[in-house]
Amino acid sequence: MRRLLGLLALWLVVVPVASAADLTGTWYVLVHYKDDASGKPDAMRWEDRIWIFERSGDELTWKEYPIVVFADDEGRFERSKRGYSRVIGAWEPNPGQRAQIASGLEVNTRGSKTKSLRGSDAAGWKSVGSAQPVSANVITYVEIWGLRDAGGKPVFLRNESLGSAAMDSLEGGTRYETQSASDDGSELRGSFERDGARHGTFRMIRAGAVSNVGKDGKTPNEKMRERIEQQVREQLQIEGALTPEAVNDALDAQSPK
């Protein structure tokens, strides 16, 4: 018996106990999905964003930046005669992009949202929605954000409704359900579903603190255009600013026919 107790005590010391996930901080979220409602339902698509979680007393603040800016947009956007567009495919960050995620990305504040959630890790977290409309002439849009199992395998919920007293509400929702986590808790992986039409996977990668893109508020497309303009200038050995028409002519000449 004494030997058995000794072995049990040794096992309790050696075997690590799984710790609760700590969501506090900044995360880069990358989603790969297919859209059943699109013209190409079999095409793989992607979207990314930044999530920031902060705790204050009995509240959990969840902030989202939907416009993420990389110094290197390789694999994310492509140029054509129609302009610059998001690449269709399962984009993955390259080593340089992973390094920027770790050090901290730039974000555009346009479209950013912040929700204050009430609850607990055990009972779940939920944002407080506004009152429903009482007038037939008033149409409101409400988003309720929720979080379940925050200390284990988190499930992130986003429910949306649009309606008034004179019409039935139109509702939709997004669900990110964690299925696995890295040993150090720096990366979460799971399933993604939006409005019953978009299905895929998501990854959350712990990231460095973000910074704003600056007073110009340029989007990734605009920044990419500046880089391509610089490349065109260097190739054509042109000094000074290029007119938009000259840039378009140069891009059209280089674009595949």
**Predicted confidence (pLDDT) per residue in 82-96, tens digit:** 667 788 889 999 999
Residue 108: enclosing H or E segment and its boundaries?
A: strand 106-108
pTM comes to: 0.73
What's residue 13's pLDDT? 39
Per-residue confidence (pLDDT) for residue 197, from 0 to 100: 93
Select the more confidently predicted residue: 160 or 175: 175
Angle among Cα 142, 155, 66 to the nearest 5 degrees reads: 55
Report the percentage of the chain scoring pLDDT > 90: 48
Task: For tokens 């956007």, name the residue.
Answer: 77
Classify the phi-psi angles of 124: left when phi > 0, otherwise alpha if psi is within -120 to 50, otherwise beta. left
Q: Report whether pLDDT(184) > 60.
A: yes
Q: pLDDT tens for residues 104-152? A: 999 988 899 999 999 999 899 999 865 555 555 666 778 899 999 998 8
The DSSP bridge partners found for residue 203 are 30, 189
pLDDT of residue 257: 44
User: Alpha-carbon distance 201 to 204, whole Å?
Assistant: 10
Total residue count of the chain as it appears in this document = 257
Question: Mean pLDDT lowest for which of 50-64, 119-133, 237-251?
Answer: 237-251
Task: Check residues 148 and 235 and name the one with the higher pLDDT.
Answer: 148
Tokens 């859209």 locate to 35
At 18, the pLDDT band (50, 70, 90 cuts) reads very low
Q: In the chain, where are the structural domains located?
A: 19-121+180-216, 219-257
**Is 206 within 8 Å of 29 (Cβ atoms)?**
no
